[in-house]
Structures are given as structure tokens and as C-alpha cells.
Amino acid sequence: MKTATLAGLALAAALVAPLVPANGDGATATAAETRSPRRLAVDDYFRLGDVTDPRMSPDGRWISYTVTRQDLEEDKSFARGWMVPAAGGEAVPLTAEGESSSHLRWSPDGKYLAFLSARDKGKKQVWTLFREGGEAVQVTDTAQDVGAFAWSPDGTRMVIVLQDPTPAEVEAKKQGDKYKEKPEPPVVVTRTQFKRDFVGYLDSRRTHLYLLHVASKKLEQITSGDFDDSEPAWSPDGTRIAFTSNRTSDPDSNYNTDLWVVDASPGAAGGEPRPLLQITSNPGPDAAPAWSPDGSLITHTASTDVAAMLYATTHLAVSRADGSGSRVLSEALDRWVFEPRFSAGGGSILFMIEDGGEQNLGRIAPGGGAIERLIRGQDTVLGFDPGPDGSIAVVASTPRLPPEVFVLYGSQADAGRLEQRSFTNRDLLAEIELSEVEEVSFQSPDGTEIEGFVTRPPGLVAGRPYPTILDIHGGPQAQFDHRFDFMGQLLAGAGYLVVQSNPRGSNGYGQEFCLAIWQDWGGPDYEDVIAAVDHVVERGWADPDRLGVTGWSYGGMLTNHVITKTRRFKAAVTGASATLYVVNYGHDMYQRWWEQELGLPWHPEAREIYERMSPFNRVENVTTPTLILGGAIDWNVPIINSEQLYLALRRLGVETELVVYPDEYHHIDTPSRARDLYQRYLGWFGKYLGQ
């Protein structure tokens, strides 16, 4: 099969938009207007639809997907279900506008779509909708939110993921409209892992699997214990369910997860615990199970280097469904893989690959061998679902095209042909002059080859150096790639050259590259991001006297290293960042990470590492005007870090502001606050760098 490409489809979609009929998925095609394209603006963020979760119908005729939008008027985000003909045509809305719906899944006969939605201010439940029209029908009615679900192969049952309910949820369910909310009881901590971002303090409630009999709506719990169970996947004959769970003696102390199989035979067990079979025994995390069509194999991801922890490469693996053995298929690849699934006929395994600034769609035989890249290059695959005829529904993006639904044809006559099916953002793209994005490579001072991306301001004048912003990604185990990046396009639209590099610590370049910052945050990765700036200065693109730097999460942490190690930058914006690392131990949700990489902070040799790596201990070097941002209830990188940095800079006489967003976790999700966030980026850089 030939490698498909999206490059050029972005511009083509924008140019032809006024000339094609309305497509129905949120875009309204109108007559072309004779005006010049404008620059991207902050409020365009709230017109963008984020397309995710493509699912091919069982007969291969339709593709369902979800479009999430940020509603400034309601100050909420809403996800809506859509479907579009796989052969092309008008997209059809499936779920109600204003009622957020997600996780659309086809019934095995293709007549119904089930989805998750919290309606009438209630809990998130499973609903079903007849594909040809009609009102949605609520299928579950639990005291707590439904976390996930999956249809059984015959469509008569579902497996449901539920966390144990709180006493308040049980009481509210019992009393209904008469329930009066009471003050929350005190938190009693008994676990090692006692915090999680977007949740808060953790209690002893666990997440388990339940069988739902669709006709009777009867629920039966099929897993139990002091463990969390997730990612259920039905065997093709409907008698077993594979799932992911950490069932070690102390799950909070390690990153291990294994695959397990539980008996799901109808009517089995009669109230007795259902039999469990352990499939994997790798001490690292195994996850994302998917069955072969004949039920003999389970494909999944596997990280085999326990010592490398979160830096370890996530490989593609297959295990025998009877628990008799596992095999890693992608060890020689040394790249992170995601979401493996068997093709409809079982002759291959499809999966996504993070590789050197790309996110490809790959294919390999179940027995191993050469990996074929079905989609690669400037085409970032964000999700996929194989159809019954070999075609694949794909959500993909390029630097100038936000995610949309495509079909990758698999038939012999059309193999490798990629065609766009959704046009959610067509009208917006027709109005805007987006920036060109160029992939670049350069050497760090020690000779390490580094890759990155440069986003140029629209209408760039050759030979003219521009004010430049170094944008650093989070993680650090992540990467910039060829997908549409609103932040990069927004800054470029405001007149800045935007530099985004993949320094050591990033995914996509192998485990050794990722591990290079072990116990040395702000070491080689600092050299790499500075080399990116040197590269664009040497090429005459960047004005060395007007440099800015920004990042969020680990990107903010590395921003803090930058401003404490060099005075080259005239403005900085650091978001959700850490500064004095020892403060985070026992205060954030990463006790395993701190202990395994840096050690217990009361041990002198470990404490030396904490102190050596902390940019706070060099804060007296800072002269860069610095805007500091964060969420008030962030348990990923708690706001205490931003508060300490702010006060230190204030005491040192450095120009600074601290902006704390109430009721926000690690990401600023409320639309009005997201708008404020983007405006502050532009305002701060505009003040100190000019435009």
C-alpha cells in the first residue's frame, strides 16, 4: 500500500470552501466574499471544532465522530456526535446540540449508537440512539458517573466501567429531588497515592467492571477488590472480557499494569466471583488490549524497561489469550506506539507510532516482521478505526488543517488513497491566512541532532529578522509534530516567529534520547532549546534582541531553567510550572516519579539532586520580565510553585505578574478563562517584544 498524504489538502479545503455545499457538521458554506484573508485571532479558538474518536459502522457505510466546541456564551465546552457517509456526502448530527455527548459506539448490527451523556444536570450515563432518527433512550441509571462502556458482540449486553459511589451519591440517588447537599465530610487519607489532578484527594473507592443486560437494564459486578480495572475489551465470542489492572500487593507504589481476562459468559457464576486469568506478567505497564478476530490473541502495548519508568518506550506486543505467553513485536523500532487493533480479517495489527516529529499509522503482521507506514510525513494521525472491507476511518491533522475525518482506502484498486470526509472547520479556514510551518534540524553543542518546527508570520518578508518566541512542550515525554497548533498559529498571526523544538526528554527519538535528562532536568534539554534559538538567529529569521520564551507544565519548568541560566530573553510566560522541586513531594500527585528518579528527599544524596536541579536556587539570576500562570486547584503541578516564583521575582525587583485561575486544574478549561489566558500571552509579549 502506498503512503498516503494530507499535505496540500488543508489549503485546498480552505480555497474551495465557499464553492461546495453545506456539509452539515457545524460549517455553513456561503457565497465567497471578495476580501483578503485575515490573521488568526483569540476568538477563533471558540469557533474551532475539535474532531476526535472516529468509528466505522459495522457495514462500513458510515463514520461516527465527536466534535467538541468551546461555548463562550454558556462558558462551557460541548461535545456533539456526528456521522458522515464513508463514501462521502453530507454529515449528519446525531446528538442534541448543547447536551454534551461522547464515546459514540455502534451496536454490532449497526442500527444503534450508544454514547455517554450527563443530561438534566444528572450523572454521566449510557444512552442509545436509533441511527435513522428519534429520541435518545437512557440505558443506565447509576448513582455515579459511567466511566466507559463497550457493546458485547451480540449486542445484548454491555460492559460498564464504574467507580464505587460515594455515600453522598448513594443518598442522592435514594432521595432524588428531596436530597439536600451537605458539607463534605473530612478527607481521611489511607493510600500512598492520595491525590490526582481533576479529582483532588483520593479515597479507597475503586473502579470495577459490570455487565449490563441491555433489555432488562440489570447490572452485575464482575470484578472486585482493592484495585482499579479499566479498558474492557470483549472477546469475539462474547464469553470473555480482557481488561487492564494493577493487581500487585501495593498498586500505588509502582507503574505496573497487566492484562487480565474475566469470564463474561451469560448467566455464569450465579453470584459467585467470576474466574480471572492473568495474561501478562511483565513488571512494566501493559495496556490497551484488543482481541484478534479468532479470539486466540490479544494485542496491546507494553513497556518492558521498569528502571526507565515513564521514559521507557511503549512497545507493541501480542499475548496468547490463554495466558501462555507474550511477545514484543516492535522492540527494534524503539518508538512509542499507541492504540493497537487487529484489522477486520486479523491479518495485521494497526497502530499509531510517534516518530521524530511525526505520528504515523503503522501496520505489522501478528507474527512480527517489517512495519509498514500507511500514513506518515506531514500527516499526524490522531485516531483511527478499521472497517470491514479494509478501509480505515482516520482523524488526522496537518500544520494548516485542524483535525478532520478521512478515509484511507484498503481495496486493491484504491489502496493508499486518502479522502477527507468531514469539513468541520472549513468556513473558518476560508477566512484566515494561516502561517507556514517548516521542520528544521540543527545540532546541540555536544553534537546531538535536534529537530523542531518554525512557524513563520503570514506575509513574512525574506531577509527581515522577526521578534521570536521559543515555545517549549510539556511532558517532558511528549513531542511537537505536524498537527495544527492553535497557540503557534496565534503567536505567528500576531507577528512572531515561533520556534518549537523537540529537546532531549522528548518522545519520538528513542529511549536513550528520552532518558538523557534523567536526574538532569534543565541540563541537556536546556542546551537543545537554546540551540533552536541560535539556529533561527544564525539563519537571519530571528531578531536576537527581541526573544521571548514560554511553556506549560514541564515546558514551564524548562522556561524557568531558561530564565535562570540566560538573560537573552526579553519576556517570558511560564505556566503551571515547578521551581523548588522538593516542595512538590507529598503535595502533588507524582510521589512515585519523585522517589524513583530523584529519591526520598530526606536522604542527603537525593536531596542534593532536588536542590541541584531546582531553578528556584538560581532565581537571583533572573532579569527577564516574567508572567506566571496557573490553576488554583492544579494537583499535577500545584500553584504553590508559581506563588513562590512570583514572590521571589517580586522581591528581586523583576517585572512580574501572577495570574491564578480559580477552580481550574492543570489545564485552563473554562472558555472565558481560556480566552483570558490567550489574551495575556499576546499582551505580555506585545508589551516587551513589540509586534
Q: Which domains are assigned to the chain?
A: 9-175+187-430 (2.120.10.30), 435-579+614-689 (3.40.50.1820)
- Is residue 517 within 8 A of residue 523, CB to CB? The reply is yes
Residues 414-437: b if buried by 16+ CB within 10 A, e if exposed: eeeebbbbbbbbbbbbbbbebbeb
Place of cell 520556534: 499
**Residue whose C-alpha is closest to residue 107's, from 142, 44, 64:** 64
- Is residue 552 within 8 A of residue 474, CB to CB? The reply is yes
**pLDDT at 8 (0 to 100):** 34
| pLDDT band of 12, cuts 50, 70, 90 | very low
- The 10s digit of each residue's pLDDT in 56-89 is 999 999 999 999 999 999 999 999 999 999 999 9
Place of cell 523583576: 654
- The rounded distance, in Å, linking the Cα atoms of 158 and 57 is 17
Amino acid at 625: P
User: Does residue 147 register a pLDDT over 50?
Assistant: yes
Amino acid at 83: M
147, exposed or middle or buried, with CB in 10 Å at 0-12, 13-18, 19+? Answer: middle
User: Does residue 359 register a pLDDT over 90?
Assistant: yes
Interval 10-38 mean pLDDT: 42
Which cell is 520 given? 538532569
**Residue whose C-alpha is closest to residue 397's, from 528, 507, 488:** 488
**pLDDT at 212 (0 to 100):** 96
**pLDDT at 184 (0 to 100):** 84
Higher confidence at residue 176 or residue 494? Answer: 494
Q: Across 462-619, where does the E strand assignment appear?
A: 466-472, 497-502, 542-552, 571-575
- No. of helices (H) and no. of strands (E), the chain: 11, 38
| pLDDT band of 428, cuts 50, 70, 90 | very high
% of the chain with per-residue pLDDT over 70? 93
Model pTM?
A: 0.92
Count CB neighbours of 531 within 10 A. 19
Kind and range of the H or E element at 361? strand 358-364
Strands of 112-117's sheet in order across? 101-106, 112-117, 125-130, 137-138
**CB under 8 Å to 650, separation ≥6 — which residues?**
656
Which range among 24-33, 91-100, 211-220, 432-441 shows the weakest confidence by mean pLDDT?
A: 24-33
**pLDDT at 188 (0 to 100):** 87
Which range among 6-20, 240-254, 442-456, 677-691 shows the weakest confidence by mean pLDDT?
A: 6-20
Which range among 8-12, 25-29, 352-356, 398-402 shows the weakest confidence by mean pLDDT?
A: 8-12
223, exposed or middle or buried, with CB in 10 Å at 0-12, 13-18, 19+? Answer: buried
| pLDDT band of 376, cuts 50, 70, 90 | very high
**Residue whose C-alpha is closest to residue 281's, from 324, 312, 223:** 324
Phi, psi of 517 (to 5 degrees): -100, 10
Phi, psi of 677 (to 5 degrees): -60, -50
User: Does residue 639 register a pLDDT over 70?
Assistant: yes
Peptide bond into 476 cis (omega under 30): yes
- The rounded distance, in Å, linking the Cα atoms of 323 and 509 is 32
| pLDDT band of 576, cuts 50, 70, 90 | very high
User: Does residue 31 register a pLDDT over 70?
Assistant: no
| pLDDT band of 547, cuts 50, 70, 90 | very high
| pLDDT band of 2, cuts 50, 70, 90 | very low
Highest mean pLDDT among 35-39, 93-97, 116-120, 310-314: 310-314
| pLDDT band of 5, cuts 50, 70, 90 | very low
**Residue whose C-alpha is closest to residue 299's, from 369, 249, 367, 204:** 367
Across the chain, what does the average pLDDT equal?
92
**pLDDT at 22 (0 to 100):** 32
| pLDDT band of 270, cuts 50, 70, 90 | low
User: Does residue 98 register a pLDDT over 50?
Assistant: yes
| pLDDT band of 294, cuts 50, 70, 90 | very high
Q: Please, which residues bridge with residue 318 across strands?
A: 299, 327
User: Does residue 271 register a pLDDT over 70?
Assistant: no
